[in-house]
C-alpha cells in the first residue's frame, strides 16, 4: 500500500466511524440531554528549549509493567492509551493513525503517545503558563513529509502567538501580537488547505476586543504566510466574537467547525468551505465547557470539559445543520476531557484535563479511546 493509499484508507475509516455514530443518533439512540491527518512521517524532535532532532536509534520503549500493584501510572482500563501526563492541551493524530502528539499546557512539552508505549517527549517550547496561558494546540505542516514542521499556539509573557518549530532549530515567530489578558488566553490551530492555517484566538477576557476589527483577540483568522517574515501580512478574519476559545477542526467537505464559551452559552459554529457563516449549529445554555472537536461527514464530536463526556452531533452534509440533540459518550468515565483526535481505526481519542481544575486520579492526566456504543442498542 502506498503512502497516499494509506492516508485515504485512514480518512475513510474515520468518516465511517463518525457516520456510524451519527446513524445511532438519528435512529434508536437515547439521549442524556480532524478528519485524520494526511501526513506520513513522524516528528523527530528532541527535548529542550531548542528543538533538536532525535537520533533514529532504538524503537520506542514499551510501556513497563507495574513494579507494584499500586503503581500510580498503571491503569488497567484497556481504553487508556497513556498515563501520568501533565495538564494537557491540544492533540493531533500522527501518520498511520496509531499514535498521536499531545501538548502539556503548563510545561510546554509535546508528547508522543501510543498504546502500550511510554509517553515520549519529542519537543519542548518556551511558554508562560500564568493566567491560563501555555502551550495550547499544535498542527502538522501540510508538507510534513518534506519539512517536518509543526505549528504551535503558545502564550508568552507579552502576548499569545503562533510559532513554527523544525528539527535542529529554535521556534520561529509566525503570528505575534495576539492580545494577552488576565484570562481568556486560549487558542487552537488547524489547516483548512495546504496554504492556509486557521488560527482560533480567545478574547483575552475582553469581549469588546472580540468585536473590534482592529484586534486579533476573539477571532478565527486565516493565516496564509506560513514562513517567518519580518513583515507578515495581516491575517484575514473569518469569524469574530469568539469568547473563550475551545477548538477548531475541519471536516472532509472543507467546512471549519469552531467551539467556544461565552458568558451566556457554549457554542458550536460552522464556517462553510466558501466562507459563509450562519447561526451557531448548536448551543449549550448549561455551559458544559466545550473543548476539542473532530469532524467527519455527517457528525461532529465535541469534548465537554465540565460535562465530562464527548458529545456527538449528527449534521446535514450540505448545510451542517444539527437537527437532533447530541449523544453523550464516555460520560463520567474519565473526568474532564479536552483535546480530541480520530485514530486510523476511526475511533475518537480524547485527552483528560483533570489536572486543570478537576480532581485528578493517580494516573492522570491520560489519553483514552472513547468507548463507542455497541450495535444499535442506544446510548445511555
pLDDT at residue 17 in the model: 55
- Residue spans of the domains in the chain: they are 3-53+72-369
pLDDT at 250 exceeding the cut of 90: yes
pLDDT at 11 exceeding the cut of 50: no
DSSP character string of 83-141? -S--SEEEEEEPGGGSEEEEEETTT-EEEEEETTB--EEEEE-----GGG-SEEEEEE-
Q: Measured between alpha carbons, how far is 249 from 302 in angstroms, rounded to an integer? A: 10
pLDDT tens column, 330-367 = 999 999 999 999 999 999 999 999 999 999 999 999 99
Q: Measured between alpha carbons, how far is 327 from 99 in angstroms, rounded to an integer? A: 26
User: pTM of the prediction?
Assistant: 0.85
pLDDT tens column, 105-142 = 999 999 999 999 999 999 999 999 999 999 999 999 98
| Mean per-residue pLDDT of the chain | 85
Report helix, strand or coil for 202: coil
* Alpha-carbon dihedral angle through residues 7, 9, 13, 18, given to the nearest 10 degrees: 60
* C-alpha cell recorded at residue 115: 498504546
* C-alpha cell recorded at residue 227: 514562513
Query: How much of the chain is in helix, strand and coil states, percent to nearest 5?
Result: 10, 35, 55
For cell 511558554, what's the residue?
A: 127
pLDDT at residue 375 in the model: 47
Architecture of domain 3-53+72-369: 6 Propeller (2.120)
pLDDT at residue 222 in the model: 98
Cβ-based neighbour number of residue 222 at 10 Å: 19
pLDDT tens column, 173-216 = 999 999 999 999 999 999 999 999 999 999 999 999 999 999 99
Q: Is the peptide bond before 360 cis (omega within 30 degrees of 0)?
A: no
Burial class (CB in 10 A: 0-12, 13-18, 19+), 68: exposed
**Short-list 172, 174, 178, 173, CA closest to 160:** 178
287 neighbors 265 (Cβ within 8 angstroms): yes
* C-alpha cell recorded at residue 304: 465537554
Give the N- to C-terminal CA distance of the chain in Å, as an integer.
39
pLDDT tens column, 206-244 = 999 999 999 999 999 999 999 988 888 899 999 999 999
Amino acid at each position: 500500500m502506498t503512502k497516499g493509499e494509506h492516508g485515504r484508507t485512514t480518512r475513510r475509516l474515520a468518516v465511517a466511524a463518525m457516520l456510524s455514530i451519527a446513524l445511532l443518533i438519528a435512529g434508536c439512540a437515547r439521549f442524556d440531554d480532524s478528519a485524520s491527518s494526511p501526513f506520513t512521517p513522524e516528528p523527530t524532535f528532541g527535548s529542550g528549549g531548542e528543538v533538536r532532532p532525535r537520533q533514529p536509534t532504538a524503537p520506542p520503549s514499551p510501556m513497563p509493567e507495574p513494579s507494584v500493584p499500586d503503581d500510580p501510572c498503571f491503569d488497567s482500563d484497556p481504553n487508556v492509551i497513556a498515563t501520568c501526563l501533565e495538564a494537557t492541551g491540544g492533540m493531533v493524530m500522527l501518520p498511520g493513525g496509531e499514535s498521536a502528539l499531545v501538548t502539556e499546557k503548563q510545561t510546554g512539552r509535546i508528547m508522543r503517545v501510543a498504546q502500550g508505549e511510554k509517553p515520549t517527549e519529542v519537543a519542548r517550547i518556551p511558554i508562560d503558563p500564568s493566567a491560563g496561558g501555555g502551550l495550547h494546540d499544535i498542527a502538522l505542516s501540510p508538507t510534513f513529509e518534506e519539512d517536518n514542521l509543526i505549528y504551535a499556539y503558545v502564550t508568552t509573557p507579552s502576548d499569545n502567538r503562533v510559532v513554527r518549530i523544525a528539527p535542529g532549530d529554535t521556534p520561529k515567530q509566525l503570528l505575534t501580537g495576539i492580545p494577552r489578558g488576565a484570562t481568556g488566553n486560549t487558542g487552537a490551530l488547524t489547516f483548512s488547505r495546504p496554504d492556509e492555517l486557521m488560527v482560533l484566538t480567545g478574547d483575552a477576557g475582553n469581549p469588546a476586543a472580540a468585536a473590534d476589527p482592529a484586534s486579533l483577540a476573539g477571532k478565527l483568522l486565516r493565516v496564509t504566510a506560513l514562513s517567518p517574515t519580518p513583515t507578515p501580512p495581516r491575517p484575514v478574519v473569518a469569524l469574530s466574537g469568539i469568547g473563550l476559545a475551545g477548538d477548531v477542526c475541519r471536516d472532509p467537505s472543507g467546512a471549519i467547525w469552531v467551539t467556544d464559551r461565552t458568558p451566556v452559552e457554549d457554542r458550536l459554529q460552522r464556517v462553510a468551505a466558501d466562507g459563509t457563516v450562519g447561526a451557531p449549529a448548536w448551543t449549550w445554555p448549561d455551559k458544559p465547557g466545550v473543548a476539542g472537536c473532530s469532524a467527519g461527514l455527517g457528525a461532529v464530536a465535541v469534548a465537554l470539559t465540565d460535562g465530562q463526556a464527548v458529545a456527538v452531533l449528527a449534521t446535514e452534509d450540505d448545510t451542517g445543520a444539527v437537527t437532533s440533540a447530541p449523544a453523550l459518550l464516555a460520560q463520567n468515565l474519565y473526568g474532564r476531557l479536552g483535546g480530541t483526535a480520530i485514530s486510523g481505526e476511526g475511533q475518537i481519542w480524547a485527552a483528560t484535563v483533570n489536572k486543570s481544575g478537576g480532581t485528578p486520579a493517580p494516573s492522570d492526566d491520560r489519553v483514552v479511546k472513547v468507548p463507542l456504543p455497541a450495535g444499535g442498542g442506544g446510548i445511555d
